[in-house]
Amino acid sequence: MGDHPSMPRHYLPPGTPLPPDTPQRLDTPRPGHGTIFVHLKDIGTSTPEIVWAASWQDPFESPGPNGEPAGIEEVEGTREDVLAWVRRRPAAAFYLLSEPGPVPLPDRDDDVVLDATRLERPRPCRFGE
């Protein structure tokens, strides 16, 4: 998928229940660090409803003061709102998530194109699949 950073994942063993009050330990991204990914998201339940979304992912070299492994900010909304949010963030890198993989985000908003016809609806998954 190219030369872009990937977010480290830490999974629990299958069948391990989470206590209901387990907080998600995340911090905010640091200026000049991390990557912003712009993509389309299907938020519809019975009928497709496509929105634009972006995620700023900043994996930390060492955990934050409270054990946070990363800083993450996310937004979803209209194309214009999401691109305006992205342009105001001082991330180190910017990508569009598209087929066949991430591509650098164009400098001009008019050149930002994502194809909703290629968006796959998430299928329900069962733990351990």
Q: How many CA atoms lie within 13 A of 114 on its CB side?
A: 26
Alpha carbon 22 to chain centroid, angstroms: 21
Tokens representing 86?
A: 């992205």
Q: By the 8 A CB rule, do 119 and 40 touch? A: yes
Euclidean distance between the first and final Cα of the chain, in Å? 24
CB atoms within 10 A of CB 42: 15
- The band of 86, judged by pLDDT with boundaries at 50, 70 and 90, is very high
Whether the predicted pLDDT of 22 surpasses 90: no
Query: Per residue in 114-126, pLDDT tens?
Result: 877 655 544 444 5
Q: Which has more pLDDT, 68 or 94?
A: 94
Supply the pLDDT for residue 56. 96
Query: Per residue in 37-82, pLDDT tens?
Result: 999 987 666 666 788 999 999 999 888 777 888 999 999 999 999 9
Supply the pLDDT for residue 21. 66
Supply the pLDDT for residue 75. 95
CB atoms within 10 A of CB 112: 16
Indicate the average pLDDT of the chain.
Answer: 81
Supply the pLDDT for residue 67. 80
Helix, strand, coil distribution of the chain in percent, nearest 5? 10, 25, 65
Q: Is 36 exposed, middle or buried (0-12, 13-18, 19+ CB in 10 A)?
A: buried
Whether the predicted pLDDT of 30 surpasses 90: yes
49 CB-near residues (< 8 Å, 6+ apart):
42, 43
